[in-house]
Amino acid sequence: MRIIDIIIKKKQGLALSPEEIYFFIDGYVNGEIPDYQVSALLMAILFKGLKNDEMLALTKAMLESGEQIDLSLINGICVDKHSTGGVGDKTTLVFAPLIASCGLKIAKMSGRGLGHTGGTLDKLESIPNFSIDLTSKEFINQVNDISIAVIGQTANITPADKKLYALRDVTGTVDSIGLIASSIMSKKLASGANFILLDVKVGKGAFMKTEEEARRLARAMVDIGNGFGRKTVAILTNMEEPLGYMVGNSLEVIEAIETLKGNVNNDFKNLCYALAQEMLLMTSSCKDEDEALFTIEQKIKSLEALEKLKEMITYQHGNPEVINDYSLLPQAKSQIEVKAEKAGYVAELNALDIGLAAMLLGSGRERKEDEIDLGVGIKLSKKVGDYVNKGDTLFTLYSNGKNEDKAKEKALNAYKIVSSKVNPKPLIIDIIR
């Protein structure tokens, strides 16, 4: 078997066999097939696409290129959630403790933020001394003890995906549905959960800009998950505007804690509840949506979900006092309120521009090795559908002096104010089962 023949076959639009896909992945991981030939194959895949059988074979090959987490030692139903990334998306910080308080086990590996999208690990590391590095034994024991752990991805999980992603990033081949679906699902399957819920973001602040693209990606990932015997559901959610009111690592931790305290009633809370409802139904923990919603509301009202977050922070060596004392989190030196220049209704709040503005302040990274400032970010005061008087605060920059003028200009450009009332787009676009 030769890699050149595989490249030509895919260039002609023909489906690759599982053996050919295994040959390509194994040869690339072992250094036997060079970058330039893999780059050619990736470009052919980008243009010609992958059929379902090819996506399953590629996912399996990447999955088997490294270690897989064995969750059989965990007593109970293991679940996982994945978001394709957005602005202000701190959902795991509420969803995970909420689901754990409902009796399910969530053993989760999360990632760091890149570009305008935030990462769960960065948010958690805003909490003083919080450790994302646990041994496999510590990870399993913690989930058995308190039903929840969120850690970083281990070095040996899907090494083929790591190599391929780095190459896709520099060869313009990131935006292939088949490659994205296989990349995400190889990591989710390696994590070992039997139930996988996917939050697929759609809109200006998401990787998938159109509903059609998002639907194709969601369908592909659901088919892969179910093809591996894991019950998988995808929810398409709106990312035209940021999720919630806080964008930035420690700011988002505060919004998540306030949500678990029952003090938040916005789109972020609604999404956390919708995702938790779906997971309770997927696992047959509740018989219908009404019972699931009642269960969720009781766990928030009783503060049991908040207690799960506190337990996780304690187990992972963080300071649990952050629950009640936000001054323990990284702080920005200055808060700059930016006012509306005219009256009207907010018709648009471009999530991408807000994410880029926060990144200019230092809350995100352009490259994986970049340092980030955990204390900076943006607090939104007005969102789509809100009425604004001239001189009202639109947003507040939490800054340590970096790129303030550029960030202010970028965030102001995110707002479009008109004279007629505009209603926000629905948060939940569709559910793919």
On whether the CB atoms of residues 377 and 363 are closer than 8 A, the answer is: yes
- Predicted local distance difference test score (pLDDT) of residue 136: 85
What is the CATH topology of the domain spanning 78-323? Pyrimidine Nucleoside Phosphorylase; Chain A, domain 2 (3.40.1030)
Q: Give the separation between CA 256 and CA 272, rounded to whole angstroms.
A: 10
Measured at the CA of 83, the angle between CA 78 and CA 87, to 5 degrees, comes to 145
The percentage of the chain sitting over the pLDDT mark of 90, rounded to a whole number, equals 87
pLDDT in tens, 154-167: 768 899 998 998 89
Interaxial angle between packed helices 211-227 and 52-63, expressed in degrees from 0 to 180 and rounded to the nearest 10:
60
Asked if the model's pLDDT at residue 118 lies above 70, the reply is no
194 phi, psi to nearest 5 deg: -90, -20
Which residues are the active-site residues?
82, 161, 168, 183, 187
Determine the Cα–Cα distance for residues 306 and 283; give it in Å rounded to an integer: 22
Bridge partners, residue 415, by sequence: 349
What architecture is domain 3-49? Up-down Bundle (1.20)
CA-to-CA separations, 271 to 45, 199, 355, in angstroms, rounded: 34, 10, 19
Domain spanning 330-418: CATH superfamily: Pyrimidine nucleoside phosphorylase-like, C-terminal domain (3.90.1170.30)
- pTM score, two decimals? 0.93
Query: Does pLDDT of 430 surpass 90?
Result: yes
The answer on pLDDT for 210 being more than 80 is yes
Beta bridge partners of 234: 198, 432
Which residues make Cβ contacts (< 8 Å) with residue 31, sequence separation at least 6? none
Domain residue spans of the chain: 3-49, 78-323, 330-418
| Residue whose C-alpha is closest to residue 66's, from 229, 225, 186 | 186
Partnered with residue 197 across adjacent β-strands are 81, 233
